[in-house]
């Protein structure tokens, strides 16, 4: 499962979900540098790597005296997927981000972000804007809007320092722990002025 749009903002009970494998890049909701991410494999899932890096074999044995010995057994843990030297400077930054998110509590983060997204969606509806994101069916911290002139509206919002994305003829707003209800009010006011 690709969890990049949920890891760090939505609570997930992976152990009881039936999901065999879950991965997410760290650069979005996990507030981490590019090149970082998480990879979860449920116990008992038969997963094999297609590639073998130098750490895949030699990190298990700790014996680096014969790098041409290719018949060492593969690790039985996550090291089987390590293809090379890790970007430790990025991982240190990710560790601090994960510590921050864990300290706040993912359930608190989810509650905060969903509240902002729903408030934003409700206010945008009052302006007559169509909400594409099915917030009633499943919670999300992302709200996509359908507007008559999305490119023009996006340019106007950028001029007002409102950060959002223009994708597939929609404007997409995403809320996280650093956003406030004042940010929602500012974005709604900017949308009013951009129409």
Q: What is the pLDDT of residues 45-55, one digit of tens each?
A: 887 777 777 76
Mean pLDDT of the chain: 88
pTM of the model: 0.83
Q: Are 164 and 154 in contact (CB under 8 A)?
A: yes
Please return the burial class of 45, using the count of CB atoms within 10 Å of its CB with bins 0-12, 13-18 and 19+.
exposed
Q: Are 194 and 156 in contact (CB under 8 A)?
A: yes
Q: Are 162 and 182 in contact (CB under 8 A)?
A: no
pLDDT of residue 78: 74
Strand partners, 23: 2, 39
Q: Which helix (H) or strand (E) holds 121?
A: helix 106-126
Q: Which helix (H) or strand (E) holds 140?
A: none
pLDDT of residue 59: 58
pLDDT tier at 26, thresholds 50, 70, 90? very high
More confident residue, 157 or 69: 157
Domain boundaries, the chain: 14-104, 106-194
Q: Is the pLDDT of residue 13 over 80?
A: yes
Span 172-176, average pLDDT: 97
Q: Are 32 and 97 in contact (CB under 8 A)?
A: yes
> Per-residue pLDDT tens for 96-153?
999 999 999 999 999 999 999 999 999 999 999 999 999 888 889 999 999 999 999 9
Return the CATH architecture of domain 106-194.
Alpha-Beta Complex (3.90)
Span 58-86, average pLDDT: 71
């Amino acid at each position: 499962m690709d969890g990049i749009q949920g890891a760090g903002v939505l609570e997930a009970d992976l152990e009881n979900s039936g999901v065999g494998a879950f991965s997410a890049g760290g650069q979005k909701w996990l507030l981490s540098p590019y090149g970082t991410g998480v990879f979860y494999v449920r116990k008992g899932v038969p997963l094999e790597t297609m590639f073998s890096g130098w750490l895949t074999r030699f990190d298990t044995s700790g014996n680096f005296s014969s790098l041409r010995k290719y018949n060492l057994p593969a690790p039985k843990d996550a090291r089987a997927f390590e293809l090379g030297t890790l970007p430790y400077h990025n991982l240190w930054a990710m560790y601090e981000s994960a510590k921050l998110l864990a300290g706040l509590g993912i359930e608190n983060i989810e509650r905060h972000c969903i509240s902002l997204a729903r408030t934003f969606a409700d206010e945008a509806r009052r302006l007559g804007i169509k909400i594409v994101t099915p917030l009633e069916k499943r919670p999300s911290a992302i709200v996509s809007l359908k507007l008559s002139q999305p490119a023009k509206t996006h340019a106007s919002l950028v001029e007002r320092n409102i950060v959002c994305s223009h994708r597939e003829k929609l404007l997409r707003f995403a809320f996280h722990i650093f956003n406030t209800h004042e940010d929602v009010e500012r974005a709604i006011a900017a949308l009013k002025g951009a129409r």
